[in-house]
Chains A and B, each alone.
Chain A
Amino acid sequence: MKHRRSIWILLALLLFLGAGWLMTSEFASLSPRRRPPKFPSYMRQDEVVRMVNRKHALMLKAWDSATKAQRENIENQRFDPLLVALSAVRTPRTLLIFEIAALEKLPAVQSLLNCMPKKVKDRALKFKDKTGIDPFTSIERAAVAGDMLLLSGDFSGANWGETFSGFQSEPYGKDGMFYSHSGPNDAGPRGSSFLVWKDEMIVSTDDPEMARRVVDLLEGREGFEKEGFPELDTYGQIYGEISVKDAMEALSDSKDDLAKRFGEAISSVKIHVDASEDVVMTAEMSGEDPDRVNDVAKSMGAALSLLRVKARSDEDRNFTELLDYARIHPEGGSFILDLALPLDFIQRSLSNCRTE
């Protein structure tokens, strides 16, 4: 009896050993679970610090006529020059701001840069040698608003003579210098006039009037009611507003007249792109009529779903993966579209590219 009973103990020991071996962490650990992408919805701490550090004390118009109390108020106000400059754009158009300095360090962009043809890299190097402007380090931000391009950064090392060799130059305002082929007052082909302000901003536009307005705003000769883009919305590495017209063009292939309904219901499209890990984009769309907005939201959701079903049936894994994280979040009178490109997807897609 004792002999038989000891079999149970022996079996128990063997089973414990077996269980331990099977469940030791090196064998039992699962592949790291892919974390769902984090979509930008508010400023991170570092972005708040970035926003604050960019503000300068700019002089507003009507300093002379202001009372003492008003001047104190004015003196305490600080503004981001780029956002002030963007208020020069009066008509609704697509406005996008790129945080170049931040983007350059990100893994997704690094993958893209690794794919850049050698020729392009060589040209950038030559440009830097000639002009003193390193496209990858001197430029902090780039803003595109319609036909206007704004670059802000540190251009103190720039050789403007070499950069704009062949251009006519003329000072404008207190710290501005106008470069053009034909002259400061004449409109020319796109990109034909540049305005450099204080070694920290370059404005490129084919409308010299707009360029002058930028300097006037920055130097207080022209007032502004609000900045060209709300400072609290400056989160992500790319952000801005897409004009409804441009958005409708993007949806123009929609079969069920989605573009038309979109144009009727939506009045504002704000986007934010964050490429810190995965590349994620949120687009907040809002309108006056909540019911119409909701209707568009449902239609877009259905369209995304159908696209995904089609991608799956076509066995288009890449597109399916892109749409895996596509979501529409209704928010009362607006909705948010989320799209994500997982980092490993980008790296896989770009892994086979080799520059020559």
Chain B
Amino acid sequence: MKPLLSVWIDLLKEASERRWILAIAAGITLILLTMACALQLDVVDGALAATRFFGKPIRTDIGAVDQTLRPLFEAVSDLLYYGSLTIGIFVSADFGPSLLEPGRIEQLLALPLRRWELLAGTFLGVLTLVLVGNLYASLGVTAILGVKTGYWTVKPVASALMATVAFISLYGVILATSLFVRSASISGTAGFLLFIAGIVASFEKEVAGLFKPGIGRVFFEIICVPLPKIGSLGVFSQDLGYVSLPDWLQVSRLLLGHVLFGGACLMIGLFHFERKDF
């Protein structure tokens, strides 16, 4: 396990040195700072009275802060959830191909570590990177809105955590693809296609209704079964705080399903990686 931890830590260290990752972190910070400085929320007796952005009044309702801010929090949840998945795909697509770079992979494979440790360490390292980014953005938003409105909620953080779990399924595919085809663009595209497919599969019933009854619809329904339900998790992340206990159990199933899907893709990648010559 020690080599796995070493690979994990080394990936994080390397990522922290990469300029474009630092640029993304700077970008998130800039967005948060803009939000902190430009967004003014007047709260009177627990009611949101006025909203200004860069000094310009924005038409918002006057009402209880938690209710009036609900659309804002829903929008923030959506932004955090889908935004982090999209950025995560772009950020992570390069790590697999970079690992397999001729000259580097031979050097790594000659070291006293097993191939699965190398792969698992890379997977966990990228996941940690995405988690850190998500937490940073979500905690920033939570702090800004909390200080401005006095309404503190963990909903943005929960959305970010759910996005991280959903990302497990996406990165499983991205990393597995890069093991077959050493290309950041192809593996990133595979991740993005799964992202779209996962959203469509979440609304399988509605979409299936567009098909004429027959083989096509049956085929579509079968395909949707194992696909990660990215959209369903996104809907739930919006509704946090307004859902019942049975929904939490459903969501736990969804989260675990995403983890298993990601793990399955990783297994396929590992099967290929173990027998691959470099």
Binds A, one of B76-84, B100-108, B183-191, B229-237: B229-237
A308 contacts which chain B residues (CB < 8 A)?
64, 67
B47:A301 contact, CB within 8 angstroms? yes
Interface residue A329 (Cβ < 8 Å from any Cβ of B) = yes
**In the complex the two chains form, what is the Cα distance from A8 to B226 in whole Å?**
18
A306 contacts which chain B residues (CB < 8 A)?
45-47
Interface residue B49 (Cβ < 8 Å from any Cβ of A) = yes
Tell me the residues in window 217-234 of chain B with beta carbons closer than 8 Å to chain A beta carbons. 224-229, 232
Using a CB–CB distance below 8 Å, which chain B residues touch chain A?
44-50, 59, 61-65, 67-68, 204-205, 224-229, 232, 235-236, 239, 243-244, 246-247, 250-251, 253-254, 256-258, 260-261, 263-265, 267-268, 270-271, 274-275
A33 contacts which chain B residues (CB < 8 A)?
235, 239
**In the complex the two chains form, what is the Cα distance from A207 to B109 in whole Å?**
101
A323 contacts which chain B residues (CB < 8 A)?
64
Question: What is the minimal beta-carbon distance from A88 to any residue of chain B, in angstroms?
Answer: 38
Question: Interface size (A, Cβ < 8 Å)?
Answer: 47
Tell me the residues in window 189-209 of chain A with beta carbons closer than 8 Å to chain B beta carbons. none
**In the complex the two chains form, what is the Cα distance from A329 to B59 in whole Å?**
8
Given contacts A301-B47, A309-B46, A324-B67, contact A31 B247 (CB under 8 A): yes
**In the complex the two chains form, what is the Cα distance from A306 to B226 in whole Å?**
48
A23 contacts which chain B residues (CB < 8 A)?
225-229, 253-254, 257-258, 261
B261:A297 contact, CB within 8 angstroms? no
A18 contacts which chain B residues (CB < 8 A)?
257, 260
Question: What is the minimal beta-carbon distance from B87 to any residue of chain A, in angstroms?
Answer: 24
For the residues of A in contact with B, the DSSP-based class is helix
Most chain B CB within 10 A, of A33, A331, A335, is at A33
Binds B, one of A9-17, A213-221, A273-281: A9-17
A15:B63 contact, CB within 8 angstroms? no
**In the complex the two chains form, what is the Cα distance from A16 to B265 in whole Å?**
8
- Taking CB as reference atom, which chain B residue is nearest A307? B64
A5:B274 contact, CB within 8 angstroms? yes
B63 contacts which chain A residues (CB < 8 A)?
301, 304-305, 326-328
B246 contacts which chain A residues (CB < 8 A)?
31
A20 contacts which chain B residues (CB < 8 A)?
225-226, 257
- Taking CB as reference atom, which chain A residue is nearest B249? A27
